[in-house]
Amino acid sequence: MVDISTELSGIHLDNPVIPASGTFGYGREYWDLYDLDILGSISIKGTTVEERYGNELPRIAECPDGLINSVGLQNPGMDAVIHEEIPELAKHFHKPLIANVSGFSIPEYVRLAEAMDAVKEVGILEVNVSCPNVHGGGMAFGTSCQNVAEVTREVKKVTSKPVYIKLSPNVTDIASIAKAAEDAGADGLSLINTLLGMRIDIRRRQPVIANKMGGFSGPAIFPVAVRMVYQVAKAVKIPLIGMGGVSSAEDVIEMMMAGASAVQVGAANLVNPFACQQIIEDLPELCRELKIEKLSDVIGVIV
């Protein structure tokens, strides 16, 4: 019997597979498709203090082996998420959730953390300091060591839940930002968010996306994500949730070998809504083939 369970900051996960924030909503589009309880956890759609409509259309551009999105954190706001979305999701998913939150100022991050701290279904707080699609927030925090450290410190003061900082890849040295978050008290790190990208319609001489630029994700960014997870794993001691183009059980194990304790699956859900189910089904067989008895043994085996 292969053991595919893993652990994040003392929280047991039946398997390392977690749908990534922004590709799984609050579960509504998926719970009729398969039993959500097969998942390791779920990272909910990025939640802000106030309701947000997000950016103008078009928000999506296809790329070879991926897509660019510029949704702009559309969500119903923290009160609706806590009082409507999470209770509904909890009827279909009975394990600790990952609450992904995004602020536009330190006080907003603090308010979100305080609010999520009181939600019993939330196991981990995933603090998004890296959304490329909103101005004056998100990535502005995630690209400086000082800002990341400050957000981390302030959020840690108001919650007893494990705090994971979601890092941007759009930086010169992701390891130093990771270290700044760890030194400020982060319990773990999630990486990578999307890479800033752009497509141009050469016939119309216009950007494909209304907001011009957006976040590039999908299998095309997987090698970049593996590299960054590896670099960060070498720089910090706290657990990592690896993500970026993960689409198969093979990708999950590769990400774990690079140093991830758990793995999020993002864009793959959008092109195959059954992707996470398929990956979880494939993992035990692949472990047997690779002579892995306990999946968590491979975390960070690459020196």
Partner 1 sequence: MKDIEFKILENREIARDVFRMVLDGDTSEITAPGQFVNISLPGRYLRRPISICDWSKNKLTLIYKVVGHGTEDMSYMETGEYLRALMPLGNGYDIAAAPENPVVAGGGVGVPPLYALTRKLVEAGKHPYVALGFNSKEDVFYEDEFRALGVPVNVATVDGSYGKKGFVTDLIGDHSYAFSCGPLPMLKAVYSRVQDGQFSFEARMGCGFGACMGCSTRTKDGYKRICKDGPVLSWKEIVW
List the catalytic residues. 131
The DSSP annotation for 237-275 comes to -S-EEE-SS--SHHHHHHHHHHT-SEEEE-HHHHH-TTH
Options 169, 188, 218, 242; binder of partner 1; rule CB under 8 A = 218
In the complex with partner 1, which residue's Cβ is closer, 128 or 152? 128
Report how many residues bind partner 1 under the rule CB under 8 A. Answer: 35
Count Cα neighbours of 153 within 13 Å in the Cβ-side half-sphere. Answer: 9
54 is a site residue for partner 1 (CB under 8 A): yes
User: Token pair of 209, please?
Assistant: 């996306």
Beta bridge partners of 68: 61, 216
Site membership for partner 1, residue 200 (CB under 8 A): no
> Does position 71 bind partner 1 by CB under 8 A?
yes
- Answer whether 8's CB lies under 8 Å from 162's CB: yes
User: 15 or 269: whose CB is closer to partner 1?
Assistant: 269
Please report where in the chains the tokens 């997987």 appear, as a residue: 222
- For residue 68, the surrounding DSSP H or E stretch is strand 66-69
Q: Could you give the CA distance from residue 192 to residue 102 in angstroms, rounded to a whole number? A: 15
Nearest to 214 by CA among 66, 20, 71, 62: 71
Binding flags for partner 1, 251-290, as an x/- string (CB under 8 A): ----------------x-xxxxxx----------------
Which one of 37, 50, 62, 281 is in contact with partner 1 (CB under 8 A)?
Answer: 62
Determine the interface stretch with partner 1 among 64-72, 152-160, 177-185, 252-260 (rule: CB under 8 A).
Answer: 64-72
80 binds partner 1 (CB under 8 A): no
258 in Cβ contact with 225 (< 8 Å): no
Rounded CA-CA distance 265/242 in Å is 9
Among residues 15, 21, 23, 128, which is the contact residue for partner 1, using CB under 8 A?
23
Binding segment for partner 1 among 67-75, 90-98, 154-162, 286-294 (CB under 8 A)? Answer: 67-75
Segment interacting with partner 1 (CB under 8 A) among 69-77, 99-107, 118-126, 153-161: 69-77
Binding site for partner 1 (CB under 8 A): 22-25, 28-30, 32-33, 45, 53-54, 57-67, 69, 71, 74, 218-219, 267, 269-274
